[in-house]
């Protein structure tokens, strides 16, 4: 099972359309989510603006390529839901939100090791970054 993390805390997954890998996407207009690997080439993101959700895999908490992909998608005009999946830890939640993710999908095991209060401590992601501290 998995847990969805948002600015409000832990929630159940409410996306029921399923996901397909990028190489199986038939058209830009789709009613399913698209799974992106962390090593997806930026050029492959073109035309993904109409998917209801894109989920980017984080195979390791040390792999930050998903943050770049999220930022590139948002800059290209993607307005749908953007989800980070996998090995994202609570300390990375603010960075995930600032780079364009709406939510994070974690395993039940990670949710047990890093309970909801640790994620909520980073939910005020708009104010807790170095620029806000410098302006303050």
CATH at residue 51 = 3.40.50
pLDDT category at 95 given cuts 50, 70, 90 is very high
Cβ contact 70:78 at 8 Å: no
Q: Which domain holds residue 22?
A: 2-135
Per-residue pLDDT reduced to its tens digit, 35-71: 999 999 999 998 888 889 999 999 998 999 999 999 9
How many structural domains are present in the chain?
Answer: 1
Q: Are strands 103-107 and 2-6 parallel, antiparallel or unpaired?
A: antiparallel
Task: Examine the pLDDT at 136 and tell me if it is beyond 80.
Answer: no
């Amino acid at each position: 099972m998995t847990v969805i993390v948002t600015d409000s805390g832990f929630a159940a997954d409410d996306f029921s359309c399923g996901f397909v890998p990028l190489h199986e996407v038939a058209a830009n207009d789709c009613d399913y989510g698209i799974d992106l690997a962390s090593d997806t080439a930026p050029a492959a993101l073109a035309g993904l603006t109409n998917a209801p959700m894109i989920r980017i895999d984080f195979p390791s908490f040390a792999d930050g390529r998903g943050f770049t992909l999220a930022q590139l998608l948002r800059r290209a005009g993607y307005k749908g839901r953007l989800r980070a999946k996998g090995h994202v830890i609570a300390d990375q939640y603010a960075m995930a939100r600032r780079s364009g993710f709406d939510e994070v999908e974690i395993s039940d095991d990670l949710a047990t090791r890093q309970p909801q209060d640790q994620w909520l401590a980073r939910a005020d992601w708009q104010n807790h970054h170095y620029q806000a501290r410098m302006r303050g």
